[in-house]
Structure 1
Amino acid sequence: MTTIWAVVLLAIDLAIRITAIIVVPINRRPQTATAWLLAIFLIPYIGFLLFLLIGSTKLPRKRRERQSTINQYILDSTVGMEHVSENSSWPSWLAPVVELNRTLGAMPLVGGNTARLYPEYDESIAAMTEAVAKARRYVHVEFYILAVDDTSEPFFRALEDAHRRGVTVRVLLDHIASRQYPPYRRTLKRLKRMGVQWQLMLPVQPLRGKFQRPDLRNHRKLLVIDGEVAFTGSQNMIDRGYDRWRNRRRGLKWRDLMVRFEGPIVAGIDALFVTDWYSETDDLLLRERETMTAATTEDPLDCQVVPSGPGFEGENNLRLFNALLYNARERIIITSPYFVPDESMLYAITTAAQRGLDVQLFVSEIGDQPLVYHAQRSYYEALLRAGVTIWLYREPTVLHAKHFTIDDDVSVIGSSNMDMRSFTLNLEISVMIRGASFVRSLREVEAGYRAKSRQLTLEEWQARPFRSKVLDNIARLTAAVQ
């Protein structure tokens, strides 16, 4: 009997390995397929079960069909193209990048916009709260993490007041992300008591027939008021310490960057909310479509929303980032809290530095997610050797802002990190902005980062302990398992 069981187990083990070699590489990057095969071959049963659970990067078929249905709506609802004039101030390479974005994400470039940055955490929440307080018709709220606490209470109170005076309030929050934090249940009770319309995004509730790969998440952060004002960026609606005792014990505080837009680009940002609301509720908000006029300003900005995530065939954000990196002529400055590039982006960044560009990367000196933190560190040596300047934002602050600038012309800001998770697994929003005035504003923010950072040198990095090198490189392997 023992011999029979041994033969059976051996046969199952062999079948798993043969099946993995056939199935795993299909439509995957070689590095991702290699990482999965390594996991399956080293721990066959556990590795295979993990692959079945989280091996697919696709959303359920019904959600993908909804995304296809709404792409035409996105095109129709994003107006303002007549305000864009391709003139001598445009970089010669920009038009093809604009066309790339439109092909991938359905959004056109729109002109006649204004933008204001909010680099301080409390100021951005105050600005969003004030905007909600002025709402007349509707408020659309969408955050990866939404929690009611002492910091966010004024925002929730503004939503409740808006609902009481007849404003339509719709709220989306990511299920898995938000429930990780202590105020989760209190937040749901508050939303129910307020009487606003709300919905969990990408809920993992198998008993209710709602299930997909558990780590496919909606990572977007956006707020739209009356179709006239929109906020987006890196900040979640929660206290700077994320309401966790271990963060308070370490003194961790998050630093983010939000931007307030006015002008036709607001319709594009709202179209993403409409997409996500439709995906979760089957309610398509066509009735609220309207024509936006250009903002009155002496220095209007051209903007383009670039949605990305598993609902799209291509990795829209990665393609945009790489296109901009290769077209840069003088300077690239990147800010990313979780920097785990795939091979294509690593080549794009190091190539830019090797052809003589000023390439700078802002990351945090410490990390709040150990695996990502160590995976990120595994890339530092290659970057430093290529000539990239790495700035480590000093602890205990976690630099959570997500943006980068290309020369003095173009910038990108939004929710997307520069890591494989954001490229493949997360639904993200990025906004590409053409305008020297906005780049100058971001340069001022970057200068503030630089003043609170220290420069990492190759000599210092090579002298780090051996155990750190081992941890970094092991974490790098796990980053590719997608």
Structure 2
Amino acid sequence: MIEFLKDNWWTIAIVLNYILAIIAVTTILFKSINPTKTLTYIIVLLVFPFFGLIVYYFFGQEYRKNKIFNRKDVLNNKLIKSINENLKIDPESIAKHETNADEDQIRLIQLLQKNDKSPLTKYNQVEIIINGENKFEKLFKDIESAKQHIHIEYYILKDDKIGTKFLDLLCQKAKEGVKVRLSFDDVGSKISSKMKSKMKNSKIEFHAFMPVLFPRFTGKMNYRNHRKIVIIDGEIGYVGGINVSDTYVNYPENKKYWRDTHLRIEGEAVFSLQTQFLTNWNFVSESTLRLDRSFFPQNKIKTVEHVQIAASGPDTDWANIMEAIFFAIVTAEDYVYITTPYFIPNDQIITAMQVASKSGVDVRLLIPDKSDSWTAKHATNSYLEQLLKANIKVYRYQKGFIHAKTMVVDDIFTTIGTCNMDYRSFNINFEINALIYNKDKTKEAKAMFIKDLENADQIDFKRWQNRSNFLIIQEAYCRLWAPLL
């Protein structure tokens, strides 16, 4: 028997591989997965022995139904229910303050309220922040003024120049008696043992989100917390695309200019950010945090700026942010301006953009000229011809790397947050966006987009069609992997 195994080990291994692959394929077919994604997994499993099983093990497990963690403990809490009920307002009330508000805008609000219990908040003061250096200047001042608690959740947190300044400030506030709770993604972040020891000694409570054994080699390991949230005393909130790392700050010594967008929010929408943080905190800390009214203080803001917080991830029943983006595009009447660093969309978003453009809507897409990922760059390029054929204007940012994740629609709606226009953000990662229903803020975001176009080149359709066959082959190869990127 042993001799037989020795002489036929390779055949046995191949047979075993395909038995497992067939089981995996059968499992995939019984799930309601996007056909493109299904086909990708089947090809990988059947064409690449052993490697296909590894890819499926790490990337193919679907947890949306099984729930990596349960949100009900937080969402069913009496205090949360009471606050959400008090925040809840009739979506039609937005029309009283926004003269351009229409039925479609109201339906978008209702979509999120039903999908994710995301209340429309009325009394807010929103500030759009351009670039990391401006964000951290404001953030540090707010942290210095904290009296009760600071809640933080980041995908990338490094103890480099800006990160050390950030963490030292948190240590100082913790020593002053402010309760600091910090969650960081284990794959995206890199914090030294020395800094962790300092944080621990300062009484900062911190936890890594879903730790992995070898984070350096698992850059795309499912499922990652891609959110960037800071809540200070339940009154001030930050959300957007800017992580804590020197990469995101335009220091003179940095070789690459980094263009990004973030939000500073005061008002009722901070309560929604707080709820999302507390949900994640219960998971990473493996305990139930006792909630009290100090997390949700009396709102002092009287300015009317309607804001809704949309969160999505394996913990939600629906792809909330993707559905909101899709609905906003297909109901647009004048224009849709999208900025994203990674454009690897699903069929729904591609179709929505094409239909909007062909119906006369001015659809524009701004992406980086040079990506930080070879695969993502060519996967993105594989979709551009479809857009150009539908008269969608595509621009590539030249000044540096544009990392902002924004969309502006019809002078009445804008969304800014952490969600990229790709499969991973729509279906796998934990993401969070602020949806702003305010014509002044939307016009500000529109002007910001137009300003960015001054540093971008528009793609000429005829020239694009004449790109080399070698590039087209690379694009086709990378597009095959698009559902896994």
Give the match for residue 263 of structure 1: 267
Residue 340 of structure 1 corresponds to 344
Distance 2:374 2:198 in 1: 32
Question: What is the match of residue 353 of structure 1?
Answer: 357
Q: CA deviation at 1:200?
A: 0.7
Partner of 1:412: 415
Contact 2:95/2:102 (8 A) holds in 1: no
Give the match's secondary structure for 1:111. Answer: strand
Rounded Cα–Cα distance in structure 2 between residues aligned with 1:147 and 1:15: 43
In the alignment, the residues of structure 2 paired with residue 62 and residue 407 of structure 1 have an alpha-carbon distance, to the nearest angstrom, of 36
| 2:226 matched residue in structure 1 | 219
What's the CA shift for 1:419? 0.4
What's the TM-score, normalizing by structure 2? 0.89
Q: Which moved more, 1:19-28 or 1:320-329?
A: 19-28
SS of match in other structure, 2:103:
coil
Which residue identity does 1:191 align to in structure 2?
Answer: M
Closer, same or farther in 2 for the Cα pair 1:457/1:184, shift >3 Å?
farther
CA contact (8 A) 2:396 2:459 kept: yes
Which residue number in structure 2 is paired with residue 364 of structure 1? 368
Tell me the TM-score normalized by structure 1.
Answer: 0.90
Contact 2:14 2:49 in 1 (8 A): no
Q: Which residue of 1 is the match for residue 426 of structure 2?
A: 423
Equivalent in the alignment of 2:142: 131
Contact 1:301/1:435 (<8 A) preserved = yes
Aligned to 2:196: 188
Question: Taking structure 1 as reference, are residues 425 and 82 closer, same or farther at Cα in structure 2, changes over 3 Å only?
Answer: closer
Q: Percent identity, please.
A: 23
Distance, in Å, in 2 between the alignment partners of 1:27 and 1:54 is 16
2: CA distance, partners of 1:353 / 1:60? 35
- Match among 205, 210, 227 for residue 197 of structure 1: 205
Alignment correspondent of 1:458: 461
The letter of the residue matching 1:280 is: V
Give the superposition deviation at 1:316: 1.2
In the alignment, residue 291 of structure 2 is paired with which amino acid? Answer: L
Taking a change above 3 Å as real, the CA distance of residues 162 and 367 of structure 1, as seen in their structure-2 partners, is same
1:330 aligns with 2:338: no
The answer to whether the aligner puts 1:58 opposite 2:69 as a matched pair is no
* Structure 2 counterpart of 1:295, from 301, 313, 337: 301
* Rounded Cα–Cα distance in structure 1 between residues aligned with 2:167 and 2:27: 47
1:51-200 counterparts in 2 under 5 A? Answer: 51-58=56-63, 63-64=68-69, 66-73=70-77, 74-78=80-84, 79-82=86-89, 85-87=93-95, 89=99, 90-179=101-190, 184-200=192-208
The offset of 1:317, in angstroms, is: 1.2
1:184 deviates by 4.4
Q: Deviations over 1:252-310 (max 9, x none)?
A: 3422111111111111111111111111111324124435436133xx21111111001
Cα 1:12–1:63 shift into 2, 3 Å? closer
Alignment gaps of 5+ in structure 2? none
Q: How much does 1:354 deviate?
A: 0.8
Aligned to 2:241: 234
Number of equivalences = 465
> Structure 2: how far apart are the matches of 1:53 and 1:148?
28
Which runs of 5 or more residues in structure 1 are unaligned? Answer: none
Superposition RMSD in Å = 2.5
On the 8 A contact 2:230/2:239 being kept in 1, the answer is yes
Find 1:316's aligned residue among 309, 313, 320. Answer: 320
Rounded Cα–Cα distance in structure 1 between residues aligned with 2:421 and 2:10: 46
Q: CA deviation at 1:456?
A: 1.1
Of stretches 50-59 and 329-338 in structure 1, the one that deviates more from structure 2 is 50-59
Question: CA 1:465/1:108 → structure 2, altered by over 3 Å: closer, same or farther?
Answer: same
Shift of the 75–57 alpha-carbon distance from structure 1 to 2, 3 Å rule, reads farther
Q: CA deviation at 1:345?
A: 0.7
Partner in structure 2 of residue 399 of structure 1: 402
Residues 176 and 72 (structure 1), Cα distance of their counterparts in 2 relative to 1, 3 Å cut: same
Counterpart AA for 2:224? R
Q: Structure 1 pair 321/285, CA: closer, same or farther in 2 (3 Å)?
A: farther
